[in-house]
Structure 1
């Protein structure tokens, strides 16, 4: 067998998210670990949301890419704890989201004790990725996926998605 040109981590890290193809699984912080033993690789990923429908596609894409890169045996594991947080999105991932017209998330709320019951009544301003204005309003709690909400900018009138902080 010919040694792969890229490390298993490098190959896995380049895998795009199927719902947000401008970012990779590494950019999103869902790629937790890549363990390599010769031509056997074990990849561990964490979903952004429990029951995320993209996980099956991400796993299949990781297996395919790693096998194409020369790794004969690839196992993809899903790890639920600790739960993913939007704080795991890299700075590069946040730039890529904004560059694609999707507002990156604010910092996630602190996770100390029970979650406060505010029923979403307090919301921080979301900056428009098109013009930079904070004069925006939420038009729908869910966008094309459960992890995004829909917004509209009152200044430039452009609609945009916002990746929710969790």
Structure 2
């Protein structure tokens, strides 16, 4: 018979990302926004093409050994993000996650690009980005608060961060 003490809260801190062991994969182009504008005059004219899109970032924090899916965990760290094909760590923050579950963050973005449109023509403006996935292993300190009031602190090396985000945004304009 095994006696298991229930964890009422878990905190993850002192995260050390192993960037040399990280990988970026499934890079693919993604059309994130498109819009049109026209010039109904006899001379070329500069027009502003306004585009908007949702910048979506998906993150998953999990571990291979200390699996406790569904446990709410407070994580204190920066977050890996792909930028120009490389992984960068964002500024440090503290947030609550469901360990093993995915979380999506959406940011509404609006951009305006000026385009010269020939007389009596129409132009389509598009924003294309690269979307990719990154896996970043990490070690961390875990503090579990048990129902009996005790705290158990462990240093573990089994963390895997998975992130999906877009980068390398480019504006393209074409006459249609």
TM-score (norm 2): 0.21
Structure showing the higher strand proportion among its residues: 2
Instruction: Give 1 or 2 for the bigger CA radius of gyration.
Output: 2
Report the TM-score when normalising by structure 1: 0.22
In proportion to residue count, which structure has more helix? 1
Higher relative contact order (CA 8 A, sep 6+): 2
